[in-house]
Copies of this chain bind each other. A is one copy, B any other.
């Protein structure tokens, strides 16, 4: 009986993997699908010259939407006009003055790209590297190779919230493969092989509307979750990148087993799918609903941070 499954090993024992597919040294996984032809396919989607940026704001008056346990970024001025007024700093020769600041933040504390080595089970991370490699910084499958390559391709928005006629999916609401396909149909598009898949739930916007107290109460994110056919579809369609306006890109737990974040295991760790989380899709979605163009060029590159488990990104979408 399925409800007796209590481990990822068991749940995913027949699940497909791409380990070794791009050699034993690979660290970028499904990004390999985005070759020069795919870049040019993305370019063709640009017809209007419209630009959208998909990062949430760091430092809103409500703080930052982050996974429970992480905290909002702290940005602090270390120089500004006040320092000159108080005689703490002198203008540069000629009179130039400047403001300067530092930040302290979780690298996954805003819109970000997960390194393929960010999560694992069974002591092996993406491509079979030993989880020991994560200690003190990711020796293997860090975010750096992804950041050096960049992510450019043909993207589509599946506005599930709109397709379901709601402002936001509700806590724990599942998105099925059928939801995706029928929503694409409603939008008048067909999901193609190698498409960068952005899924809108309306969820992250609730953080900014309702504030953190309400947002985190009984925290259970909506989204995709582990289903055999869904994972096989990702495998067959060779989806390189999955992005969602939720913190974790998937339902917090698998409904039947309670297993936490099974798609991080099945898609990221096993298939090498790149996760782009905490996206801001409100403005893009509104525009797509107006002009009925749901596909675009997606261009993004997380910060190049050596050994990092993930890195912030402000993705750019061009229609």
Q: Does A188 contact B (CB under 8 A)?
A: no
B51 x A149 contact (CB < 8 A): yes
A301 x B318 contact (CB < 8 A): no
User: In the complex where A39-B49, A96-B121 touch, is A80 in contact with B134 (Cβ < 8 A)?
Assistant: yes
Q: Does A71 contact B (CB under 8 A)?
A: yes
Contacts of A312 in B (CB 8 A): 303, 312
- Nearest residue (CB) in B for A314 is B301
A75 x B137 contact (CB < 8 A): yes
B318 x A152 contact (CB < 8 A): yes
Contacts of A147 in B (CB 8 A): 53, 55, 314
Q: Does A118 contact B (CB under 8 A)?
A: yes
Partner of A119, one of B97, B137, B302: B97
Q: Does A191 contact B (CB under 8 A)?
A: no
CB-CB contacts below 8 Å: A271-305 with B: 297, 299-305
A137–B83 CA distance with the chains assembled, in angstroms: 9
Contacts of A207 in B (CB 8 A): none
- Which one of A74, A135, A253, A302 has the greatest number of beta carbons of chain B within 10 Å? A135
A76 x B78 contact (CB < 8 A): yes
Contacts of A152 in B (CB 8 A): 51, 316, 318
A136–B316 CA distance with the chains assembled, in angstroms: 29
B94 x A262 contact (CB < 8 A): yes
Minimum distance in angstroms from A119 CB to a CB of chain B? 4
Query: Which of A6-14, A167-175, A176-184, A231-239 participates in binding chain B?
Result: A6-14
CB-CB contacts below 8 Å: A44-71 with B: 46, 48-53, 55-60, 70-71
Q: Which residues of A contact B (CB under 8 A)?
A: 6-9, 11, 35-40, 43, 46, 48-53, 55-60, 70-71, 73-83, 85-89, 91-108, 110, 117-123, 131-139, 144, 147-150, 152, 253-254, 257-262, 264-265, 297, 299-310, 312-316, 318
- Which one of A254, A301, A312 has the greatest number of beta carbons of chain B within 10 Å? A301
B314 x A264 contact (CB < 8 A): no
Partner of A96, one of B89, B91, B265: B265
User: In the complex where A49-B36, A99-B134, A301-B316 touch, is A91 in contact with B56 (Cβ < 8 A)?
Assistant: no
A103 x B305 contact (CB < 8 A): yes
Contacts of A310 in B (CB 8 A): 101
Contacts of A80 in B (CB 8 A): 82, 134-137, 309
B136 x A86 contact (CB < 8 A): yes
Contacts of A259 in B (CB 8 A): 93-96
A95 x B121 contact (CB < 8 A): yes
Contacts of A93 in B (CB 8 A): 6, 253, 258-260
Contacts of A73 in B (CB 8 A): 305
